[in-house]
Amino acid sequence: MTSIRPLLALALPAVLAAGCAAGSEPVAAPEKTTYTIDKEASGRDFYTEEVPQQTPIEVEAAGPDTEAPAADPVTGPAAAFDEPAEEPAGGPQDTSARTRKTGTSGGKIVYNMKPPRGYKRYNAPGAYNVTKLIYPRREIFGVFTDQQRNQVADRNALGRKVGMQPNMIKSFYDWNNGFDPNWARQIWAAGAIPQYELEMQDPDVATIAEVANGQHDEFVRTLAKNIRQANVPVVFSPWHEFNGDWYPWGYCGSTSKADSNACQVKNKPSDFRRAWRRMHNIFKAEGATNAIWLWQANQIGARPKVGLKQFYPGESYVDWLGVVGYYYGEKGWYHTFDTVFMPSIRALKKVSKKPIFIPEMGMDSYNRPKDIHNFLYGVAKRSDVIGFLWFSYNKPSEIDFRIDTNGTSTRAFKKYIHKAAFGFNPRSPLKNKYNARTHK
Determine whether 50 is an active site residue. Answer: no
Residue 113 CA to residue 321 CA, distance in Å, equals: 14
Residues comprising the chain, all counted: 440
- Catalytic site residue from 197, 199, 286, 360: 360
What's the N-to-C CA distance of the chain in angstroms? 31
DSSP element (H, E) containing 265: helix 261-265
DSSP 138-156: SBEEEEE--TTS-HHHHHH
DSSP 347-361: HHHTT--S-EEEEEE
**Angstrom distances, CA of residue 22 to CA of 15, 27, 30, 262, 325:** 21, 11, 19, 40, 58
Residue 147 near residue 172 (C-beta atoms within 8 A): yes
Instruction: Single out the residue of 135, 103, 142 nearest to residue 119, CA to CA.
Output: 135
Residue 268 CA to residue 317 CA, distance in Å, equals: 18
Residue 163 near residue 414 (C-beta atoms within 8 A): yes
Residue 188 CA to residue 159 CA, distance in Å, equals: 16
Residue 250 CA to residue 247 CA, distance in Å, equals: 5
Determine whether 60 is an active site residue. Answer: no
- Catalytic site residue from 241, 286, 315, 398: 241
**Angstrom distances, CA of residue 324 to CA of 42, 282, 344:** 12, 27, 9
Active site residues: 241, 360
